[in-house]
Every structure is written in C-alpha cells, then in structure tokens.
A and B are shown apart, each in its own frame.
Chain A
Amino acid sequence: MILNSKIPQGPLEQKWDNYKKKAKLVNPANRKKLDVIVVGTGLAGSSIAASLGEMGYNVKSFCFQDSPRRAHSVAAQGGVNAAKNYKNDGDSVYRMFVDTLKGGDFRAREANVYRMAECSLNLIDQAVAQGVPFGREYGGYLNNRSFGGVQVSRTFYARGQTGQQLLLGAYQELMRQVGKGTVQLYSRHEMLDLVMIDGKARGIIVRNLDTGEIERHAAHAVVLATGGYGKIYYLSTLAMGCNGSAIWRAHKKGALMASPSWIQVHPTSLPQSGDYQSKLTLMSESLRNDGRIWVPLKADETRLPNDIPENERDYYLERRYPAFGNLAPRDISSRAAKERIDAGFGIGPLKNAVYLDFSKAIREQGKEKIQEKYGNLFDMYLKITGYNAYNEPMMISPSAHFSMGGLWVDYELMTTIPGLFALGEANFADHGANRLGANSLLQASVDGYFIAPYTIANYLADEIHTGKISPDAPEFETAENAVKKQIQDFMDIRGTKTVDYFHKTLGKLLYDYCGLARNEEGLKYAIGEIRKLKQEFYRDVRVSGQGDKMNSELEKAGRVADYFEIGELMCYDALTRNESCGAHFREEFQTPDGEALRNDTEYQFISAWAWAGENREPELIREPLIFEEIQPTVRSYK
C-alpha cells in the first residue's frame, strides 16, 4: 500500500488556503440528508459535533461518561498555545511551526504542523467568544505564559484548569445544538465496533452502558475523537476510562495505526506511593516556570529537603541544559529525572521522585503571587499527599501521559478507511515523536472547529446521492453478532483473576520494556510476555455480573483485551525504529553523553502499521517525511 498524505500544492503558508479554496461544498439543503457519527465528546469530538450540527448535518454524538462534559480534555491544566504574539516577544505562526516541528524531533509532517500553528490564532478568538474566562492582565488584555520547550510566551490559560474551561466552552456549544435538535446525544454509550459497507465506514456498534443493550447506528461518515491510550500503562495521568478500543477496532477493520510506541512520559506527575494506586496525578508543567528541579548531590540522602544546603543540591536540568533549564522539553526532562533516579539519587519513601522547589520563587515574588498563579495545584498536592508545598518542595516523578501515536490520517484527517476520520489525540498527526506542552488542547480543538468541518464536507459532497444507510444491512448484523459473541466469551471464562490484575501486569511490562527507555532485547522479551499474558487472560479472567446489564468489569475487560494487542504493536514499532527520537529512546542509539541519537538517513518516515491477524507480525508501511521549508537539525537545548 502506498500512503497518500494528500498534502496540497503550493508554498507552506498557502497550502491550507489552497485546500479550502478547492474543497467541495455541500449545499445547505442537502446537509440534512447526511448523517455523521461522532464518537467522543472531548475537545475534538464536541467541537466537530457542534460545528457539523450548526452547519445542518444530522449528527449523533457518543461518549462513555455520564455527560459529555466529563471527557478527559477536562483534566488538562496548563494551557493552550497560540501564536498571537500579544507579548510582542517575537512570536509568529512560523516560529510556532518551527518550535513544534523541532519539539517533535522532525518526525511530523510540515504541512500539518504549519496548519495547526496557523489555526491557533482563531482558536483563542473562538474560545473567548464562547465565554472561556482566560487569564487577563489588569488592563483587560489576555495574559499568557511560557511552557516547556519554547522561548516565547504563547500559552493561554484559565488558572490551572484550561482544559476544563475550553471543554466546557465546546460542551456548551454541543449542548446548544442538542437543544436545537441538530445533534442527538448518546452518553454512557461505548463504541465496540466499526461497520463497513463496500469498503467505506458506514456506522458503529455500541453498547448502552446503563442497560447493556447493543445498538446499531448508521451514517455517511464516522468520526473517531476518542482520545489517547496512555492508560495502557495502567499507572498514568489519564482518567480511568481512557482507552484505545475505538481506534483499535477500526484498526482491525483496516485503518492503519501510526507511531504507536511514541507515548510521552510527563516529567511532573506525583510519584507512585503503593500497589493499590490506580492512577498518577499530573502536576501541571506550568509549575516549571517558577519551580526548580533538583535532587540531593549525595546518593541515599536521608535529610529532609529543607535541611539540605544549596551547595549539596544538584539542579540537574539547569546544569545539563543551561539554555532551557527547568523548561527543557518533556522527553528530555523525564529522561533526565529517570537518569538521576536510576543512579540512586531519587527521593521520597520509594526513592522514585525528584524535588520541584518553589522556595526561590516565593522569596522573590512573594507567596501571594505564587498562590495566584498555582494555588489550586498546591491545594491539590496537599489533598493528595498531605504535604504543604509552600513550606517544602513538591515530590514529582515521570509518568505516562500522552499518546503521540494513533490512527494514521492524511491531511484531511481521514484514515485509510474512506469515510472514517480521526481527530484529536486519537490520530497521530502534528506532534511528531514528542508533543510540546499546551499543543494538544490546541490540536484537538482546531481539528474539530476549523479543519474537519471543511474536510468532512469535502468527503460528504460525494455522498449526497447515497441515500440513507440502513442499520439493517447484513454488515451491521455481522458486526453486532461479533460484538455479542465477544461479550459472551468474556462472561464464560469464569476464571480466577480480575481484569485489573491483567491491566496492572501489562502496564508494568510496558513501563519496564517499552517506557522511557527501550532496547531490542527487552522489546522482544516484552512481545513474548504480552502474548503469554493475553493467553492467560482468555483462560483465567473473571468478569462477574451479567453481559446484558450495567457492568463496569465487562467494560474494562473489553478495553484490556484491546490493550494487549496495542501493547504488542507498540513493541514492534519501537523495535523497528533503530534510532532515538523524541519520546522514543532506544538505549542502543545514544550519544556518549546520553542524549538521543536520531538517524535521519534511515528513519525519516512515519511508521504506519497494518493489522495482519492475531499473533502475527504486523505489516509496516512507511510514509516518507519530506522537509521543504526547514532542514532537520539536531535538537539541542543546551
């Protein structure tokens, strides 16, 4: 298969305009003849569903939570990027494009990245118009701050709850359309399969999580905006329900998965404290603007942090990366922390953390200023750990956070299945091998508000004469039966181990062998172990309750079953990429001083994977990356 990324002609800064000029339109009178399914109500899903609804299409919107407002976008704290240059500090679309491409270690498409930077300008306008209360200067203008990996202030924020406020804005627009009847809402519904007719995406099979009923929904196009699968590691910063099932089921129906092993590990989450733990909480990275990161100079230090004098502290980020210091990008900061922890300098009861220290900032700016900037984060820290970070440094540690990989999409955000689109974190686009902070709320939003409304219309223009898609078609019947059978199979195993046991075991395997650092031997070992674990799961898992009633264990079982396969693919992906780039650090490929060693001559491509069947080696398809505007350079933050 040759992948066609459909990048439009013309110079970089005109590509998107050129696309829009030529994109096909659907006459308003015809729009109501067209049905679109949107799975997911995060920023990407709510924004596209609301946009398509307001344009006049019939939209059905699905999410597994009890309300669309709870989609995981709500959890994002730090902020959202836009090249507004309100600070007059030299920001521009071009600079943002360069930062993003470089941040992603030159493993993203130029045209996509440029478009995201370009659309960032409109996003802030859109959100403000919706009533998102972004932080403001006293004079009334919007404020911003800087985030890891860049040297300008381009991050807009609403205290430490930017994702929440952006999502509520999108959710409110979605609910407005629901009120008008252009969007039908199905909360507490989980997509369990994609239905294809004549090679096109034509609908989905869902389970009503409240009643256990299996339903069929047909449409002319299906949009997956189902977020990331970082929860595969079990311990991660993601919500409990986050999963990869929707994209995985689509993958098994023929959509390619791109770069699955690129999962960002966030440097500032709270450390694990025990086995019972269900998730790791993120402390916003914005804390790094004022917090300084250090570990004791002496290994196995026993003194309390405040008793350790300045000259016995190792501010390792400032030492190793003087130009960026505590604001070094996430992959670099996470790896540097892991390096210190592995070398025996970790702190905390489990020696698995580093300090994030605000004493200098509090001395210089006063407690009140710090309180205003990060108060809710300090409160959160206190609630979770019982420690007051105004008096002593926070303890932080790296944890799995964001999946850069996802369904492969072309410039139109369409997967390799015609009529199936993937938006937001569910696609692989824009972030390359590493995401810069505050770029993903942006990507999810612009995908939904500004890009997909054009590209989906371009697709639907050819569907006007198709007529209604019938959910009675045999393809729906087959898919529904397969879903029902899978559920029955889970219920029938009646083994002895819980679903969580399997999820935790898989997560630990991935942390150890396909986490912050990977090597060939470990990855091969992990593939074998994952296959064994999967077999054990199908032999010995215990799902209690009933298949046709509300049953959270059953929901989890389906997600974990998919995680085994995704985990295996992650290992294959990491194994084939004989280089280190972004979040992907192969121990065999590093410079003498421990930095990532990229190999552009051999690996300047996107890895897209095709499903080859159970326990079979997946097929790798390469999309070469062509850089016209800037030439890849070695990423240096020194």
Chain B
Amino acid sequence: MDLHLKIWRQKDKQSEGKLVSYDLKELNPHMSFLEMLDTLNEKLITEGDEPVEFDHDCREGICGQCGMMINGIAHGPLKNTTTCQLHLRSFKNGETILIEPFRAEAFPVKKDLKVDRSAFDRIISSGGFVSVNTGQAPDATAIAVTHQIAEEAFDSAACIGCGACVATCKNGSAALFTSAKITHMVLLPQGKKERNERVLNMVTQMDHELFGHCSNTEACEVECPQGISVLNIARMNYEYGRALFFRKK
C-alpha cells in the first residue's frame, strides 16, 4: 500500500518545528506503524537526510516508551493500543497520515516526535510506592488479599506510563496516570498505611509539574492503551479529600 505522511520535524527543544511531507510506496499492510517509520528512516538515511527521531523500545505494547499523535489521536485510531501495536492494516491505501509528538506543557518536545516525560518519574518519586526496605518483608501469605481485590489492584497497576492520557487531555492533566498508581496502592493492604501522605504528595507534585487540572472530559480513558478507568480519578479525589480531612484532625 502507499501512504502520504506529514511528520512533525523539530530540531531541538528551542527550535521551531514544522510539518514535512513524505511519500512511501508499496508498504506491506502487516507492517507495524513503527516498522513503517523504520522504512522511512532507511530511505532518509540512504538519501542523505536525517532520520525522524521517535521513542520506542519493547515494540510489544508494554514498556510505554512509544507514542505519538496519529491523525490527532494519541497512539492512533485503534482503541486500547500503543503505537507499536498499530499496524498499517488500520489505514487505507493512499491515505494521508498526520504524525505529531505528544503535546503537553509538562512534556516538552526534545526532537521530532520525542518528548520528555520525566515528570511522571518525579510524581512516582513523590510517593508512588510502599516504603519497604529490602529483606524486611513478612511471609507473602501473612496478609490475605482476595482474588477480587488483587485483580482490581492489577487493573490500576497495569498503567504503562505512556502519557497518552496527558497528550489527549485538553488540559494536559496527569490525573489518570497519578490516580492509577494511587488506586493500585490503596486497594492493597500493603499500600494502605501510607495512603494519606501518598495522595497528598503525589497530587502536589503533579501540580508542580505543570500538568493541567482534570475537568472530567474522560478523553483519557478513551485513549489509554491499558484501558485504565476514570473511576481511578474519582478514587483519587476521594482519597485526597479524605487525607485532607485526616490531616486537619
């Protein structure tokens, strides 16, 4: 199949970027989206141009490193799918595809399609953990966790930190990401002990990082490759209020 691409090229953080057009011909529809970009890059390099920089690693939808806006949609048209798991069979022969970096104030562009998502790491660093030193743990069965709770915690823990929720949100809010971790931790008995400090610290950090506020458009859930539910955000808000209440006392 043939494709016409319009790709955001930006030399570095300071430079201004612009869309550049590229044509690719005779692509195999079973190719993944990133393999299509590889093919483009091979072509650019042999023609003496600079390849397009984009982020990726595992190429199996689990590391969270890939991600771009494809025709205005984070990770492209398929629901619950990362960019690396998107294949050309989801597009039409001859189609024009617009490819841009994830955009948010908290995710500055580094080059072309690469953005800086280290704000997520700082949010985790502010409280997204159970404080346990190595070698201290009691036997794993000492505290029973029911099947349902473990599964529910897993649903939230499955966030891959890709940032699609932020990129797709008109406010650039990190509420889905942050709330997923808060929910994961608070559901499990191991994480409950630190629930108050955790939510207060993480929400504060989130605000420091220039993420916007959540205004409940629920666009994040729609684009999340892991199908993380917006109910997590409700849980975060509840936990936040609860923590404030207990702090006052």
Q: CB within 8 Å of B: which residues of A?
A: 47, 50-51, 54, 65-70, 72, 74-75, 84, 86, 122, 124-131, 133-142, 158-159, 161, 164-165, 168, 171-173, 175-176, 178-179, 185, 187, 210, 239-241, 273-274, 276-279, 281-282, 380, 383-384, 386, 449-450, 453, 496-498, 500-501, 542, 544-545, 549-550, 552-553
Map CB proximity to A onto B93-134 as digits: 1 under 8 Å, 0 otherwise. Answer: 000000000000000001100101110110011101111111
**Please, which residues of chain B bring their CB within 8 A of the CB of A68?**
121
Q: Are B129 and A54 in contact (CB under 8 A)?
A: no
- In the complex, are the beta carbons of B130 and A130 less than 8 A apart? yes
Q: Which residues of B contact A279 (CB under 8 A)?
A: 59-60
B217 contacts partner chain A, Cβ-Cβ < 8 Å: no
Are the C-beta atoms of A125 and B137 separated by less than 8 Å? yes
Binding site for A on B (CB under 8 A): 12, 28, 30-32, 34-35, 38-39, 42, 44-46, 48-51, 53, 55-65, 78, 81, 85, 87, 89, 110-111, 114, 116-118, 120-121, 124-126, 128-141, 143-147, 149-151, 153-154, 157-158, 160-161, 184-185, 188, 190-191
**Shortest Cβ distance from B78 into A: residue:** A383
| Cross-chain contact B147 with A140 (CB below 8 angstroms) | yes
The residue from B35, B58, B126, B151 contacting A179, defined by CB atoms under 8 A apart: B126
Question: Which partner residue on chain B sits nearest A385 by CB separation?
Answer: B30
In the complex, are the beta carbons of A126 and B34 less than 8 A apart? no
- The one of A67, A126, A165, A449 in contact with B120, judged by C-beta atoms closer than 8 angstroms, is A67
A159's closest neighbor in chain B, by CB? B154
**In whole angstroms, how far apart are the Cα atoms of A553 and B42 in the complex?**
10
A211 to chain B, nearest CB (A): 9
- Which residue from chain A places its CB closest to the CB of B152 in the assembled complex? A133
> Which residues of A have CB within 8 Å of B50?
544-545
CA distance A198 to B185 in the complex (A): 47
Q: What's the Cα separation between A164 and B31 when bound, in Å? A: 26
B residues near A185, Cβ cutoff 8 Å: 121
Please tell me if the beta carbons of B139 and A125 are within 8 angstroms of each other in the complex: yes
Given A125-B140, A133-B157, A239-B58, 13 more contacts at CB 8 Å? A66-B117, A70-B161, A125-B137, A125-B138, A130-B132, A131-B130, A136-B146, A140-B146, A158-B154, A173-B134, A276-B31, A380-B85, A386-B87
Q: Within the complex, which residue of A129, A544, A549 is in contact with B136, where a contact is CB–CB below 8 Å?
A: A129
Complex CA gap A278/B37 in Å reads: 11
Please tell me which one of the listed residues A54, A141, A239 contacts residue B133 in the complex, with CB atoms under 8 A apart: A54
Asked whether A139 lies within 8 Å of B63 as measured between CB atoms, the reply is: no
Nearest-neighbour CB distance to chain A for B41, whole angstroms, equals 8
A383-B188 contact in complex given A129-B130, A279-B59, C-beta closer than 8 Å: no
Taking a contact as CB atoms under 8 Å apart, the answer to whether B87 and A129 are in contact is: no
> 21 A–B contact pairs at CB < 8 A?
A66-B117, A74-B62, A75-B60, A131-B184, A131-B188, A133-B157, A136-B149, A138-B146, A139-B144, A161-B62, A165-B154, A171-B124, A173-B132, A175-B124, A175-B128, A178-B121, A277-B31, A278-B32, A450-B135, A544-B51, A550-B12
Residue of A nearest to B187 (CB): A133
Q: Give every chain B residue within 8 A of A384 (Cβ-Cβ).
A: 32, 85, 87
**Taking A133-B188, A276-B39 as contacts, is the C-beta distance between A126 and B62 under 8 angstroms?**
no
Chain B residues, CB < 8 A from A159: 154
For the complex, give the distance between the alpha carbons of A168 and B141 in Å: 21
- Is B140's CB under 8 angstroms from A124's CB? yes
Residue of A nearest to B27 (CB): A276
The answer to whether A72 and B125 touch across the interface, beta carbons within 8 angstroms, is: no
Residue contact A67 to B150, C-beta cutoff 8 Å: no
Chain A residues, CB < 8 A from B137: 122, 125-126, 128-129
List the B side residues contacting A72 at CB < 8 Å: 57-58, 63
Closest chain-A Cβ to B118's Cβ sits at a distance in Å of: 7
- A274: nearest residue on chain B (CB-CB)? B28
Q: A54-B134, A552-B53 are contacts. A70–B46 as well, Cβ < 8 Å?
A: no
* Residues on the A chain within 8 Å of B184, using CB: 131, 133
**A137, B147: Cβ atoms closer than 8 Å:** yes
The answer, among B89, B185, B190, for a CB contact under 8 Å with A129, is B190
The residue from B38, B89, B110 contacting A386, defined by CB atoms under 8 A apart: B89
The 9 A-B residue pairs whose C-beta atoms are closest, nearest first, are: A140-B144, A172-B129, A129-B137, A125-B137, A179-B125, A128-B140, A175-B125, A136-B150, A133-B154
Residue among B53, B118, B140 with max Cβ neighbours from chain A (10 Å): B140
Cβ-defined contact, A496 with B46, below 8 A? yes
**Which residues from chain B contact A75 at a C-beta distance below 8 Å?**
58, 60, 62-63
Q: Whose C-beta in chain B lies nearest to the C-beta of A275?
A: B28
Taking CB atoms, residues of chain A closer than 8 Å to B143 are 128
User: CB-CB < 8 A to B30: which residues of A?
Assistant: 273-274, 386
Residues of A within 8 A of B85 (CB): 380, 383-384
Chain A residues near B134: list those with CB within 8 A: 47, 50-51, 54, 126, 173, 449-450, 453
CB neighbours (8 Å) of B111 from chain A are 550
Nearest A residue to B141 via CB reads: A141
By a CB distance below 8 angstroms, the chain B residues around A383 are 61, 78, 81, 85, 87
Nearest A residue (CB) for B132: A129
Q: Is the CB of A142 within 8 A of B53?
A: no
Across-interface contacts of A273 in B (CB, < 8 A): 30
Known contacts A72-B58, A386-B89, A545-B51, A126 near B128 by CB under 8 Å: no
- CB–CB A553/B138 < 8 A: no
Contact: B138 with A70, CB < 8 Å? Answer: no
Nearest opposing residue in chain B for A180, CB measure: B125
